[in-house]
Every structure is written in C-alpha cells, then in structure tokens.
Structure 1
Amino acid sequence: MLKILSNLLCAVVCLCVVQMPAMAAADTRMQVDVLAEEHNVEVNWLHANVREAAALALPELWSRMVPQYAISKIPKRVKAVLFMQKASPTKDGVRITFHQQRVINYLKKHELPLIAEQPALNVVIQLYNKHGRPMGGTANDLLDYAANEAAAKGYRIDAQGASLVLLWRWLNEKQVSLSVRGNSKLSEYTETRRLTAADPLRQLKPWMNEVLLKARDAYIEPTAAEAEGEDLDVAQDQLNPSNGLAMQPLTKPEVELRLTIQKEASIADQVLFEQDLRRDPRILELSLRRVNRDGQQYYLQLNGSDDQWLKQWFARRGMTLTATIEGWVVQ
C-alpha cells in the first residue's frame, strides 16, 4: 500500500513539473549599474548611500523605458527609492534593480508614453563598398557593438525577435545609402548621408544607434487618453452616415492590380525587390507574370482598398509610380 501511494505521489510531482509554464525572458532594463568612476565618487560612498545611488540610476532607467521625445515630460522630483526592488554592491559601484510594475504604474499614472515590454530585435547588418563587395568584418563589428549596447539602450538582441535589416551601400567615395527594412514596428525607409574617408566603423556606430532607438521607440504603448481617442474616432466613423462608413464592417475589401516595372535589374535586385514587397503586411499576393528586356510585370493583390501607399513605398526606393489605364507603371 505504501509503495502504491509513493508511486502515485511521484506521478503527481512529475505531472506538476511538466505542466509548469516556461519563464519569460528577464527584462534587463530594470538593472542599472551605477559606476563610481562615471559619477566621480568613491565606491564605498555608493555602497553606503543606496538612496543616492538609486537617484543616479533613475535617469538611465527612464531613457530605456520612455521614448526620446517624452523624456523631458517626466516629473523632475521623483524619489527613485520608491521604485527600487534591491541594491547589490559591485566592485565598481552598485547595481540597482527596479520594480518593473511600479515603474509602469507610475508612468501610466502620469499619462506618459512608455515601452512596457523590452523589444526583442533580430538585427541583421549588411555593408557593401562602392564596388559592390561585402564588408563582412565591419558588419560583424557593428553587430557586436549593437549587442553590447542593447541593455543600456533598452532593447534586446534576439534571433527569435522581429527582424530589422540595416543595409549600407557606398554609392561613391563619400555618399552612403542606408536601407532599413524588416518586420519590426519601425516603418521601412531609406536615407543617404555623406561620410568622410576616415574609419567607417566609427562613423556608422552613431548612425546605427539612431536607427535602433527609432526601432525601440516604435514599440511604445499609447497613453490612456490616446487609446480612448482612437476608439472614439473609430466609433464616430462607423456611426457617421456622411462619411459613407455607417454600419460598415472594419474589414476592407481586397484590391487586385497589375504592376509593370520599366527598369532593368539584375536577378539579385529583382529577388530583393520581391522579398521586400512580399514582406509588407498590406500585400496579400505577389506573382511574376512576365519578364522582358524592358522590365517585369506583376500581379498584385492588396489587403484593403487603399493603394496610395504604394507611391511612397517606391519613392523611398528612388522610383516613381504612375497610374495608367493598364495598371500601375514603375520607372
């Protein structure tokens, strides 16, 4: 009898272990290292003055949790110790760990935009020199730099995260084009800047930081007032007969169109173009219908009735989109 009970107990314990949910990844933003050297104080002073150490750590926490444009809106007189969960002495100073929910509650109470969850980004970096050859060493150095800066900047590098592809291409000795794409919440865009002939790594680091912070800030949660305003706008659109949307469902009809690309392109460029377009959630289907010396013709099915965004999409890639009787033409 005792043996049977023992076996049953073991089975229950094993079942409980199997059914335990996996722990979520720890939010590293909550841990801020206050280094004595950076604040011109002694290590022992930080160990003995935890409240002051927490006050020194709080601005760093805000910079990770609040988008850049809203930092100045945070109340100045805040007791950092109210958010502190624990303080751990280190050889170089103190590690302050903040209580995440208290921080979030405070920011929401003051109607401040915040990045409630630490964004996980799968960052891919590609560089090509003016001859079209890949610059693998510099790309790897930039990726290592991004990984080292991730915790301090408020995001997390994760192969399972949303993809963020940064492609730099040297157009000539000084002009460098950047293309940003992927399925993160950051909208795709391109830009061109002038760089000097000096070390490209040193010049690309701050440029990359700008992009990564933009990607991080794209994950902000709307304040209660903003969310309420969005809901009100949707409700008014549905109930207002004058706008033609009264009693209409929120789903939009699909649109089919023909897209002709009147531009010569290599097979590699054609593949990249198709991948970029297919990655956009507004595209339901893209199929190549015809290829000739003048370009390619595609069948395109959109998710919704709005097709005007296509002009901006192609404009960011240096092309123009024109509507004709036979469909859209890209040049």
Structure 2
Amino acid sequence: MVADLLIAKNPDTGSSLPYLIRVPLGERGLVLKTRDTWPRTSKLYCHRADGWPPDAEIVDRVPVRSCSRRGPAIDLVLDRARENRSQIVLTRARGREMIFWQSPRTAKQARPNVALPTRRAAGQVLEILVDSREKYPYTFTHQQATTQRRALPAGDYAVELDGVVAAAVERKSLADLAASLTSGKLTYALADLAALPRAALVVEDRYSALFKLEHVSPGVVADALAEAQARFPAVPVVFTETRPLAQEWTYRFLGAALRELRAHAAPAAADIFAPQDDAAAVGPVVARVTAARKRPADGETAAARAWARAQGYVVADRGRIPAEVLRAYRAR
C-alpha cells in the first residue's frame, strides 16, 4: 500500500488536467487527473485515470498521516505543517460520476458562513409554483412558503396574481448557464421571461467562476452573457454564490415582485400587467390576461383538460383549469 500522496505530471499532453495524484486508498490507491497540485483557491475537478504510469514524472511526494473514506467523501490528512487537510468528494450528476478535491478553505468559500433569515418575504406566506420539468427543484423548506408543481410558460419558479403568472425566476447552475449561452437556448428563455410583468435569472455561483471554466472560452461566455443582458434589460441576471443563497434570493424576489404589483394594481389590467411599465407592451399583455380570465365555453373545459395532459401539464380531474394552461390551450 502506498504510504504517500504522489503528485506527477499527466503524460497525456492533450488533457486539460495536467496532473495526476495517487491517493493511498485501498491496495492500488486511487489515481485521479486534476488541474493543480492542491486546492488552494477553489475546489478542483478530478477525473479517474486508467492507472499510475510506471515512468511517472513525480513533482511532489507528501507523507500521509491518515486517509479514510466516509460515505461519498475521502478525508486526506498529510504529514506537513501547512496545506495538510483536504477532502475528495465523489458524487454523481446527470448520470455520470463527478469528483472534486477541496480543502477547508475552498469548502468555506463554497459555503458562506451566513445564517439565512426566517422573516417572511414582503410580509406574506408565498405560494410558489414550481415548474414540473425541474428535476431537483428548490423546496423552500427554510422559507415561509408552500409549493405547487405545474408546467410553467416561463421560468422555473413563479407566483400568480389573480390567477395569472405575474413573476418568475429562471434558475441556472454555472455549467447550465455556459451551455445555454453558447448554444443560444438562453435567448429564447429570456424572451419568454421578458414577456412577464416581473422576471429574473439567478445563477448558483459567483460571476468570477465564469473565468475558471475549462471546456469553453471564458471570454466567449462573458461576452454572450453581457449581450443577453443588454438585449433583455428587464430580466436581471443575479449571481448568488451557492444554491441555498439562490433559493433564498428567489424567494425574496418573488415576494417583493408580488407585493409591488399588488401595490400598483389598478382596475385596468393594463396597469397591473404592463412589463416594466412599458406602455408599448400593454396591448399584447392585456390581451393575454383577458384571454386567461375568460370563462371556458361549453365543451371547452374537457377539450382543454385533455390537451393539457397530452402536453405534460398537471391538471386535476375536476375543477378549474389553471389560467396559464387555458391560455396556452387557446393560443396553440
């Protein structure tokens, strides 16, 4: 069994991970490709290597004080004064293995030491609509809110005003943001969000993390993000460091948006649902709101319910059909 942590140069010069590490775990040890020799400024993405090369070019050899696995994490303690504690986390995302190497310093950066408040958002208990296509949605268990799964016309989380979606938030991880920016998919998502009275996009990471992306040019992603924000100024893009903070921001934004729309509500639907008070957009928005509020004609309810189920919407067997589902059915 290997008694040291071995760090060597990756003989595969075409790899974006220039180093190999061999962790003394098990008989043969765990061999990983990684980007650096230690997780100093951020956690390091790792990938399993086929094996330890017999002619490896060693760049560092550090005695190991202890190495043990506890569930999905491997705790590694080195026998040196500084940079001696780290953890290798093995997890799965989107059906494939993901491995990260982190130190206490980088783990603290990833989990800011803040206590989230329990204060109600804008003094109200929210009913938040969660898009039924979200695989791992926010639960809002820490916040004073209830959730309901439903297919949303835009965004991943939303609130209603008078039976119509009034505000929505689109959630993105950093990897998802980069992929949707480079593919152009984010443009369509932002266009749908811009049609709502209030909307935003929240990113579960720091803006600085854009410039640490490995499989895409950071400059290309940063430019695409700036162009998208300039094209859709009514939909702010907010970076929140972590997933819990993104959930908290989403909760606060939806509560504030709902209170603001209620406070400025007028008898005319145009005053309530004009996106960002843009008078040019009042006509189409009022038409959608009026269509959503129009009562179904005889026989339309059953047809709309059948159509909604075929499209993946969640509707009850009896009772009122959600306004946005009815609107989508009439606009099909």
**Same fold at TM > 0.5:** no
Question: TM-score, structure 2 length as denominator?
Answer: 0.24
Larger radius of gyration: 1
Question: TM-score, structure 1 length as denominator?
Answer: 0.24
